[in-house]
Amino acid sequence: MKNIVLTGFMASGKTTIGKELATITGRKLVDTDVMIEQEMGMTTNEIFENFGEEYFRDLETVACHAAAEECGVIISTGGGAVMREINREVLKKTGVVFNLEMNEALIKERMTEAKATRPLMSDEIDKVIERFNSRKEFYDDCDYKIPVYDGQTPTDYAAEILKKYTLSLITKG
């Protein structure tokens, strides 16, 4: 049984929607950021501070590969996981990939709250938007795009994702 993989920029709601999907389906939730933090016994902020971004990205690649070995789970990825092709490929191999598609206005709106736990959200707004735009092609490399906008509940997103997931299993196996 294929995994359900959530990708998307920071603060797109991957963790919240992942939890909702896990609750509805009874499936396990695997969060690559949580895997990394548990492995290191440090927060993401601390890992970035002490070892730098490239080190974090290597841990992320290991976490994506370990997550992709699971069967029939919900995988919530970190916002930058899609940047490496080997991560996208391994996640696609055993899962149906859903990108929670953000837009600039929503990123700006959610930035203040998102800063606390995310080192790359502490940059100036222009830099954050630039980062988002530079990643677009990687976010687009997914099976389904799920546009994110205010007013939708986690249950709404989960229902949309599950419908598309089931359809994908029927049509693509």
Q: Of these, 44, 87, 94, 99, which contacts ligand S3P (CB under 6 A)?
A: 44
CB of 99 to ligand S3P, least distance (A): 12
Per CB under 6 A, the segment of 16-24, 73-81, 104-112, 148-156 that binds ligand S3P is 73-81
Per CB under 6 A, the segment of 91-99, 117-125, 137-145, 159-167 that binds ligand S3P is 117-125
Whether 90 and 147 have beta carbons less than 8 Å apart is answered as no
CB of 97 to ligand S3P, least distance (A): 15
Contacts of 108 (CB under 8 A, 6+ apart): 125, 129
Q: Of these, 14, 27, 88, 110, which contacts ligand S3P (CB under 6 A)?
A: 14
CB of 31 to ligand S3P, least distance (A): 8
Residue (of 62, 70, 69) closest to 86 by Cα position: 62
CB of 7 to ligand S3P, least distance (A): 9
- Could you say whether residue 154 binds ligand S3P (CB under 6 A)? no
How far is the C-alpha of 58 from the C-alpha of 22, rounded, in Å? 27
Residue (of 165, 121, 134, 168) closest to 27 by Cα position: 165
b (16+ CB within 10 A) / e for 64-95:
beebbeeeebbbbbbbbbbebeebbebbbebb
Per CB under 6 A, the segment of 72-80, 96-104, 140-148, 149-157 that binds ligand S3P is 72-80
Please report, as residue ranges, which positions from 21 to 40 form the binding site for ligand S3P (by CB under 6 A). 33
Sheet with 29-31, side-by-side order of all strands: 29-31, 74-76, 3-8, 95-101, 144-147
CB of 10 to ligand S3P, least distance (A): 4
Q: Which residues lie near ligand S3P (CB under 6 A)?
A: 10, 14, 33, 44, 78-80, 118-120
